[in-house]
Amino acid sequence: MKVNSDTSIDYVDTMYILMEMTTKIAKWGNSYAIRLPKETLDELSLKEGNLVIVSTDANSIRIKPTKKHATLGELISRINRNNKHDVVEWIGSKGNEIW
């Protein structure tokens, strides 16, 4: 932050502050679990039941949201004249196929 001589603020530099939290690893059935703060989940638009990717990197554990997968209905709604292919004609059977 820069302040001029009459103590009014000319501009403010903003930065992201990494939120850290100390938590315990807990036993959950045959696996282990950690608690995540609600603020962290809210920031990433995550909720109970969402899938995440867990990976390790050097001496750390990384948890990141999975990309949202389109439903069949969403995929079908994207079909249009420009991306719809013609019917493929097969030339006879080559094995025990039933035609």
Residue 48, in any domain of the structure:
yes
Residue 14, in any domain of the structure:
no
**pLDDT top residue among 52 and 90:** 52
Residue 26, in any domain of the structure:
no
Q: Flag whether pLDDT at 30 surpasses 90.
A: yes
36-84 tens-digit pLDDT: 888 888 888 888 988 899 999 888 999 988 887 788 998 899 999 899 8
Residue 27's pLDDT band (cuts 50, 70, 90) = very high
Tell me the C-alpha to C-alpha distance, in Å, between residue 98 and each of 88, 89, 91, 93: 17, 15, 13, 8
Residue 96, in any domain of the structure:
no
What is the model's pTM?
A: 0.46
Residue 15, in any domain of the structure:
no
Q: Which of 76, 18, 70 is nearest to 43 (CA)?
A: 18
Residue 63, in any domain of the structure:
yes
Domain that holds residue 47: 36-79
pLDDT on residue 89 = 80
Total domains, the chain: 1
